[in-house]
Amino acid sequence: MQITYDNSFESALIELVHTDGLAPLHDLTDWEWDRVSVFFEGDKTSFVETEVGTPLAGITDTRSDYLSIRGNLIVFQLENRVTKVIGTVIPRIQTNYDPDGRRSYSGRVIVLADPRGYDNCVLQDDKSSR
């Protein structure tokens, strides 16, 4: 599995930030997935692999205990299998504002412009699906 940098996905995130918008994350993708996990430069590779449930051969650096990417590492899964791994630099997708400290979300997650005005996006559960 390789990290890809998807220009159309990143452009859609940038558009959300600049318009203070929000959208189901599914609307910004054209591949199948039912779970997404978001990680950051400096996260421990063991944490990433535990959260995703599988080693990410070719993505996590075996010479280091930490992710050495700029920005985000976004892992999409379908039925517990990794389907796509995307790196984004700007805007960053923040998850550390989640009160539960989660890094993984269901396929019903919404992405929105950071309400504090930073040039970032935030993930939140679609409360209408509960």
Distance CA 104, CA 75 (A): 9
* AA identity, residue 70: R
CB atoms within 10 A of CB 80: 10
- What would the mean pLDDT of 50-64 be, rounded to a whole number? 74
Q: What is the pLDDT of residues 71-121, one digit of tens each?
A: 889 999 999 999 999 988 777 787 655 666 668 889 999 998 887 777 788
pLDDT the model gives residue 101: 64
Q: What is the mean pLDDT of the chain?
A: 82
With contact defined as beta carbons under 8 Å apart, do 24 and 108 qualify? yes
Q: What is the 3-state secondary structure (H, E, C) of the chain?
A: CCEECCHHHHHHHHHHHHHCCEEEHHHHCCCCCCEEEEEECCCEHHHHHHHHCCCCCCCCCCCCCECCCCCEEEEEEECCEEEEEEEECCCEEECCCCCCCCCEEECCCEEEECCCCCCEEEEECCHHHC
Residue-wise pLDDT tens digits, 7-47: 898 899 989 888 988 899 999 999 999 999 998 888 888 88
> What is this structure's pTM?
0.85
